[in-house]
Structure 1
Amino acid sequence: MNRRTTLAAALALTAGLALAGCGGADGAPQLEVADPYMPQPVDQNMAGAYFTVKNSGDTADKLTSVTSDLSKDITIHKTVGTKMEQVDSLAIPAGGELRLSRGGNHLMFMGLKKKPAEGDKVTLRLHFATADPIKVTVPVKAVTYAPKK
């Protein structure tokens, strides 16, 4: 009987360790932001920001909100055909990326506290459903700036 108890305890411990290995940091989204920019706004009413969130992890995540000292009203938009619509989040697939670009998914900043000029830097904090927030420094580019593809 004592042997069975010891064997059962050993099996329970082994199973517990195996299950603990299934989740954790290895299964989490691994996010990084690339190529951020904001075209210089035409006026102080609104601005847009663009970047790519790369997920090298094996778990999907979602961009759920953005905060910045530039504006209290920052919304996430997706573009379907020629129509833009505000959404609560945008998916970041496992092993994939979320691209925000002109004419596609993007951020909208409304009621800017000040109009940033070309050469300025704007700090954003990206918030996700699962991953920790990421702080991003976004350079302000010329109004007509278009990144190289």
Structure 2
Amino acid sequence: MQYRIGLGETTKIWGDPCIPRLSTFKPFSTAPEGLQHAVVAVLVDPLTKDWDHELIDGNFTPEDKEEIVNIPLGHEQQPDLICWHHTRAGTFSVRSAYFLACQQLSPHSTSEVSQPSSTYRWKKICKVNIPPKIRLFA
């Protein structure tokens, strides 16, 4: 899960997962004194409604800065949202969790269920002599 930034008023810079990177979604930089609990809105220039590059340059590593300034800001009056970062729409579904689990079990596979190894697995599951409602969860 990660935060999708709207107004930035509820997402903590160093406490909430809001930077879109694969590992932690949090900045590598340590929080400066007095900003440990600051929210993302602090990093936005109130006049331009864009990132305050001067403030970001002074408080983040170059890697963090690059990731932060690439986060699109919600220019409408939208609150920050928690989203499922494994789908484009940001919504969780059992299907997206299933595909994530498949990817983690076989990381070299870019598979969908229709690949031959998966098809073979499904055929074996369908041939097992168990009630259909249990087969659904196999």
Query: TM-score with structure 1 length normalisation?
Result: 0.21
Hey, which of these two has a bigger chunk of strand by percent? Answer: 1
Write 1 or 2 for the structure with the bigger share of helix. Answer: 2
